[in-house]
């Protein structure tokens, strides 16, 4: 049997899903609204940390990417022509308040475009000189790897972060997601 907090979170999320569904809130912003209710209910009862999230849905036929960021660093969309777009539409961290509101963004991914979503641990990776890898390091490495497969971009970026940090212990996790449109 689930704990009291889990039952409350489950009941809250179902009620919130129905409420938001009735308003016709589009995904993924509607989903983040539901998730923040769950995180808030669990946080109140269990004192858990807040959560950031980048949620996206890509239509593989049209290339339409609907996304929503909940307090997450903006995802990079590197266009085939070299323009860089920061995908930051969304709202606050999940669990900040049960009535948090989120907005979805939408872009079209075209052939040769690369989407890079990452955790803040990538940006905050430090070297022996106490310098952070940062947005500039991430953008530079993404541009160097542009035109490659998603796997190559992922390992190129991760390798650059590891080379930058050397053997320094890192304080945060490092997560990457790469989507390349062919």
Mean pLDDT by 10 residues, the chain (182 residues): 40 47 55 56 54 87 92 96 96 79 94 96 96 98 96 96 95 92 91
The answer to whether 33 and 13 have CB atoms below 8 angstroms apart is no
- Are the CB atoms for 68 and 104 separated by under 8 Å? yes
Cα 54 to Cα 87: distance, rounded to the nearest angstrom? 10
> Which pLDDT score is estimated for 97?
74
Taking the C-alpha atoms of residue 15 and residue 37, their distance in angstroms, rounded to an integer, is: 10
User: What's the whole-model pTM score?
Assistant: 0.77
Q: What pLDDT does 47 receive?
A: 52
pLDDT of the residue at 12: 46
What does each C-alpha distance from 16 to 5, 30, 41, 139 come to in angstroms? 16, 9, 12, 38
Residue carrying the six token digits 């239509």: 59
Comparing CA positions, the residue from 165, 161, 159, 160 lying closest to residue 126 is 165
Rounded Cα distance, 127 and 170, in Å = 9
Q: What is the DSSP string of the chain?
A: ---HHHHHHHHHHHHHHHHHHHHTPPTTHHHHHHHHHHHHHHHHHH-PPPB-EEEEEE-TTT-EEEEEEESPPPEEEE-TTS-EEEE--EES-BTS-TT-----EEEE--TT-EEEEE-HHHHT-B-TT--B-HHHHHHHHHHHHTTS-HHHHHHHHHHHHHHHHTT---SS---EEEEE--
């Amino acid at each position: 049997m689930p704990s009291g907090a889990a039952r409350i979170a489950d009941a809250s999320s179902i009620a919130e899903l129905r409420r938001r569904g009735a308003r016709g809130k589009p995904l993924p912003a509607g989903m983040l609204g539901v998730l923040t209710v769950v995180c808030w209910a669990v946080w109140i009862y269990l004192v858990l940390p807040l959560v950031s999230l980048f949620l996206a849905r890509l239509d593989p036929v049209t290339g339409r990417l609907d996304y929503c960021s909940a307090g997450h660093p903006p995802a990079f969309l590197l266009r085939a022509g070299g323009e860089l777009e920061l995908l930051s539409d969304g709202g606050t961290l999940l669990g900040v308040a049960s009535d948090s509101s989120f907005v979805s963004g939408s872009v079209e991914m075209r052939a040769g475009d690369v989407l890079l979503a990452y955790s803040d641990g990538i940006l905050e990776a430090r070297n022996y000189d106490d310098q952070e890898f940062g947005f500039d390091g991430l953008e530079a490495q993404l541009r160097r790897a542009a035109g490659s497969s998603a796997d190559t971009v992922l390992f190129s970026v991760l390798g650059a972060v590891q080379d930058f940090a050397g053997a320094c212990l890192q304080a945060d996790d490092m997560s990457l997601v790469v989507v390349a449109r062919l």
